[in-house]
Structure 1
Amino acid sequence: MESQSTYDIIVIGSGPGGYIAAIRAAQLGYKTAIVEKYKTLGGTCTNVGCIPAKALLDSTEHYHAAITKFKAHGIDINSMSLNFEQMINRKSEVVAQNVSGLNYLMKKNKIEVLQGTATFINNKEINIVNRETTNKVSAKWFIIATGSKPSSIKGVEIDKQRIITSTESLSLKEKPNSMVIIGGGVVGVEMASVFARIGVKVTILEYADSLIPTMDRDLGKELNKVLAKEGIDIQLSHKVQSAQNNGENVTVKYLDSKNNPNEITADYCLVAVGRKAYTVGLGLENTKIETDEQGRIKTNEKLQTAEENIYAIGDVIKGPMLAHKAEEEGVFVVETINGQKPHINHNLIPGVVYTWPEVASVGATEEELKAQGSEYHVGKFPFMASGRARAAMESDGFVKVLTDPKYGEILGVHIIGPRAADLIAQPVISMHYETTDEDMFRISYAHPTYSEALKEAYLIASGQGALNL
């Protein structure tokens, strides 16, 4: 049976970019629908990405702290055990709460949720297929927010049994004894942290010569030291050749940093080599929409595709695959459709790694400034010299500030340390309003706080010299 409805705006995909775009569209008075092929809203981030990963990171952080730090705080625990099943159940409860919140927001904003797979018939109509039902719907504008899926490498086929992605790793039935992680980027190091903290023997095989290689190299070096202290075996400049599911375990073959063949066997192999834009089944061939060599949808500065009434946001287009980037782009597109003049500075979208200590970064890296031939000053302050960090037994890491020598403009800020994910918000604000390093050290910082490390780093970058080092 076929039916047809007409909307002002249809958003395809209900991840962070999609649901934020739909809410903003409804707020501006547009008749809005959101299409989602899965049973729950929220996309990868809510269901099998950001939210459940952070839930497990928090749980394992508590467990690890109880083992390694409680005694120093005067807290003696006679016996302690890990209930892995409850840890996974709590993660699932957190996800369910977030999904429930999204359902409420859709109802509150009168957004119609259309379940099924969307396929463009042309630039004005889509088919939504849900089992045996096909609904044809039309709209003035469409926003593609279909996100991304985990990718793999030659010789490694993800079977979701022993050769898994982060998705499967978040719902394992029992704690494994060992795990090989292919990839030392954001997902790889976060998942390594989760499992290493609960006693899993974790090995990271990374092709590059640094962890988190897209971020400032000093961050990767420091993170390497911290994770190694937690017992994670980190192998850099290693090229994986294949992964074989043996039934009860996995054998991964690789070339080491000297190009010698080697292999390792573990209970699971987690593939964390990045993600690729997801456009399967969208029917882009029925439109003028084009994709680039990496399969991402091409857009202009307004995030319009080759079809003027169809926009694309988030992981499905170029740029870092970050939930908050997708959110900003969702609002940007809707307000653009509305005739407003919104703006996004993609250089000021922070990146965060939720290991412990956390890693956060915004703006240019030192490597980028060197490649550009730009002059810069460095202000670097260790958390070991922070009274608040010492009191909390969180002295690993540092704040690194890069500034322009002539005017003191802040070019980039890179943090590895306690609460870095929260601390990075201040540099984002300062860079947005183009303040100088002097502006930022002249303001008052509460004492004792982790944020004081920023003040000291600004002082050093300006040439004043730190007050607490």
Structure 2
Amino acid sequence: MVVGDIATGTDVVVIGAGPGGYVAAIRAAQLGKDVTLVEKEAYGGTCLNYGCIPSKAFVTASSLAHDAGTAEEMGIHADPAVDMAAMTSWKDGVVDQLTGGVEKLCKANGVNLMAGTATFADENKVRVGHDGEGQGSESIEFEHAIVSTGSRPVQVPNFEFDGEHILSSREALDLDSVPESLLVVGAGYIGMELSTVFAKLGTDVTVVEMLDSALPGYEDDVARIVRSRAEDLGVEFHFGEAASEWEEMGEGISVRTENADGEVSEFGAEKALVAVGRSPVTDTLDLEAAGVETNDKGFIETDDRARSNVEHIYAVGDVAGEPMLAHKASTEGQVAAEHIAGEPAALDYQAIPAAVFTDPEIGTVGLTEAEADEQGFEPVVGQMPMRASGRALSMNESEGFVRVVADEPSGFVLGAQIVAPEASELVAELALAIEMGATLEDVAATVHVHPTLSEATMEAAENALGHAIHTLNR
């Protein structure tokens, strides 16, 4: 027997419980709104379940195994054995703890949780379909809606994900054995992170990229250090190659690529990981019924309050466009909730940092020197090489640098580019500097603990001022 459509009402309906959606739901509830959060799969979204957290768990585990097995210089001799099934089980435990925590936090803050798939019926109503035979659906009338349905991996023509031969990042993070060889299609941040992980676990990794460099979008000297380190780990790169087709070959596959001149190459591997980007999940929502518009890439364009073209319908996270970052999604979710509640909230993207968890890590925030110049500033740059950092040397991690970009007349910090161990942590200080309007003098005059990696931030600021002690001044 099919249960009929049931109608309910709410102040705010949030569609999708990823890092944008659940933060928006909790914040709106804290501000006194009746909130219904609809999720079709798992609380925490892609980030907690299939992306950020699982990949960082693997980054940590693979680095531990690799470091233990390559520490002869430190007088440590070991030959670690990797149990991939156990590693995956440990990763799943981390994920379960966090996703369970999200659900508990939502309930504790009074958010109404609803399992199902939401589609718009009109600009003030969504219909939620429940999985399972006879489960039916229900309609929710709302005053405000927040769309937070995230993104999915882009599929390359002829390379549909099958979970066996052709893997998405989600499937690669759920393997129960270490592949002997892996062909990675795409040298962006996801491809580079996972290439590093599997190379450290002993996989023979080959990367093919249709562009002419790894990590497009990052400055050459940043990307070059990461690529060089990956090559030291055994990763082989082939640039200017677009994957065209594949076939099974023995116990593995053979992948054919083509360059701009039409020349064809073939690469053999046990499996292929396709990591060429992500696209927004907006095609399942029936946005047209609500009058919500998307651009030609499927993203919902928003203003600085996270509003779509329909003022009471908001979009946060990956569906709202680049950069596709979990912390950007959470910030947008909080702003959307506060604006709905009448708070004076608005988005400011100048101080949103980004990180790539390669070896070494990359951390960036704000403007590069070139961008600062284009925007009419008079940039001054200070840099501290990690080879001059006592802490970096004592970690046996001396590749990379911390670079600070500032406006010379005012001294205001405008941006930073870091390629170094723990860059994802180091960048926070410079993001705060930009957010609060700090100057080079402020950063340089802040006493940093010795010996730490963060001293490089202080030294870079001093270098920009022309009085660095531990590196030559420019």
TM-score bracket, normalised by the shorter chain, equals over 0.9
Deviations 1:285-328 (A, max 9, x none): 21110010101012233221222211111100122000000000
What residue number does 1:337 align with? 340
SS of the residue 1:16 aligns to: coil
SS of the residue 1:188 aligns to: helix
What residue number does 2:36 align with? 33
Pick closer, same or farther for the CA change 1:459–1:447 going to 2, 3 Å: same
What residue number does 1:421 align with? 424
Deviations 1:351-393 (A, max 9, x none): 1011222110001124434655754222221111100111111
Matched ranges for 1:143-158 at <5 A: 143-158=146-161
Kept in 1, the 8 Å contact 2:305–2:347? The answer is: no
SS of the residue 1:204 aligns to: strand
Kept in 1, the 8 Å contact 2:304–2:346? The answer is: no
What residue number does 1:91 align with? 91
Matched ranges for 1:320-359 at <5 A: 320-359=323-362
Q: Does 1:67 align with 2:48?
A: no
TM-superposed CA distance for 1:427, in Å, is: 0.2
Deviations 1:185-217 (A, max 9, x none): 111111111100010011111222222211222
Kept in 2, the 8 Å contact 1:315–1:321? The answer is: yes
TM-superposed CA distance for 1:245, in Å, is: 4.6
Deviations 1:405-436 (A, max 9, x none): 32222221011111111110000011112222
What residue number does 2:117 align with? 117
Deviations 1:266-302 (A, max 9, x none): 1111111110000132111211100101010122332
Over aligned residue pairs, what C-alpha RMSD do you find? 1.8
Deviations 1:237-281 (A, max 9, x none): 333333345573222222358763211111111111110000132
TM-superposed CA distance for 1:155, in Å, is: 4.1
Kept in 1, the 8 Å contact 2:65–2:80? The answer is: no
Q: Which deviates more, 255-264 or 166-175?
A: 255-264
Alpha-carbon separation, structure 2, partners of 1:123 and 1:224 = 48
TM-superposed CA distance for 1:437, in Å, is: 1.5
What residue number does 2:445 align with? 442
Kept in 1, the 8 Å contact 2:159–2:246? The answer is: yes
Pick closer, same or farther for the CA change 1:370–1:250 going to 2, 3 Å: farther
Matched ranges for 1:287-366 at <5 A: 287-366=290-369
What residue number does 2:52 align with? 50
TM-superposed CA distance for 1:468, in Å, is: 4.3
TM-superposed CA distance for 1:62, in Å, is: 0.6
Kept in 2, the 8 Å contact 1:336–1:342? The answer is: yes
Alpha-carbon separation, structure 1, partners of 2:301 and 2:127 = 22
What residue number does 1:214 align with? 217
Pick closer, same or farther for the CA change 1:246–1:93 going to 2, 3 Å: same
User: Residue type matched to 1:463 in 2?
Assistant: G
User: Residue type matched to 2:58 in 1?
Assistant: L
Q: Does 1:403 align with 2:403?
A: no
Alpha-carbon separation, structure 2, partners of 1:410 and 1:167 = 37
SS of the residue 1:360 aligns to: strand
Pick closer, same or farther for the CA change 1:16–1:426 going to 2, 3 Å: same
Kept in 2, the 8 Å contact 1:12–1:18? The answer is: yes
Kept in 2, the 8 Å contact 1:217–1:367? The answer is: no
Q: Which deviates more, 361-370 or 81-90?
A: 361-370
Kept in 1, the 8 Å contact 2:400–2:420? The answer is: yes
Q: Which deviates more, 347-356 or 269-278?
A: 347-356
Alpha-carbon separation, structure 2, partners of 1:432 and 1:346 = 10
Q: Does 1:140 align with 2:143?
A: yes
Deviations 1:133-178 (A, max 9, x none): 2111111111000000000234433333211110000111211011
SS of the residue 1:4 aligns to: strand
Pick closer, same or farther for the CA change 1:390–1:197 going to 2, 3 Å: same
User: Residue type matched to 1:413 in 2?
Assistant: A
Alpha-carbon separation, structure 1, partners of 2:454 and 2:427 = 9
User: Residue type matched to 1:206 in 2?
Assistant: E
TM-superposed CA distance for 1:464, in Å, is: 2.5
Q: Which deviates more, 241-250 or 287-296?
A: 241-250
Alpha-carbon separation, structure 2, partners of 1:421 and 1:80 = 27
Kept in 1, the 8 Å contact 2:335–2:345? The answer is: yes
Q: Does 1:198 align with 2:190?
A: no
Deviations 1:13-54 (A, max 9, x none): 00000000011011111111100111x211100110001111
Alpha-carbon separation, structure 2, partners of 1:262 and 1:150 = 25
Matched ranges for 1:169-188 at <5 A: 169-188=172-191
SS of the residue 2:73 aligns to: coil
Pick closer, same or farther for the CA change 1:34–1:223 going to 2, 3 Å: same
What residue number does 1:368 align with? 371
Alpha-carbon separation, structure 2, partners of 1:324 and 1:357 = 21
Kept in 2, the 8 Å contact 1:61–1:197? The answer is: yes
Q: Which deviates more, 257-266 or 219-228?
A: 257-266
Kept in 1, the 8 Å contact 2:20–2:333? The answer is: yes
TM-superposed CA distance for 1:343, in Å, is: 2.8
Alpha-carbon separation, structure 2, partners of 1:348 and 1:332 = 15
Alpha-carbon separation, structure 2, partners of 1:389 and 1:373 = 35
Kept in 2, the 8 Å contact 1:163–1:243? The answer is: no
Kept in 2, the 8 Å contact 1:180–1:204? The answer is: yes
Tell me the TM-score normalised to structure 2 length.
0.94
Q: 1:20 aligns with which of 13, 23, 43?
A: 23
TM-superposed CA distance for 1:236, in Å, is: 2.6
User: Residue type matched to 1:55 in 2?
Assistant: A
Deviations 1:417-462 (A, max 9, x none): 1111111000001111222222211221111110111111111222
TM-superposed CA distance for 1:399, in Å, is: 0.8
TM-superposed CA distance for 1:75, in Å, is: 3.4
SS of the residue 2:218 aligns to: coil
- Flag structure 1 segments of 5+ consecutive residues without an equivalent: none
Alpha-carbon separation, structure 2, partners of 1:394 and 1:242 = 39
What residue number does 1:107 align with? 107
User: Residue type matched to 1:250 in 2?
Assistant: I
User: Residue type matched to 1:86 in 2?
Assistant: A
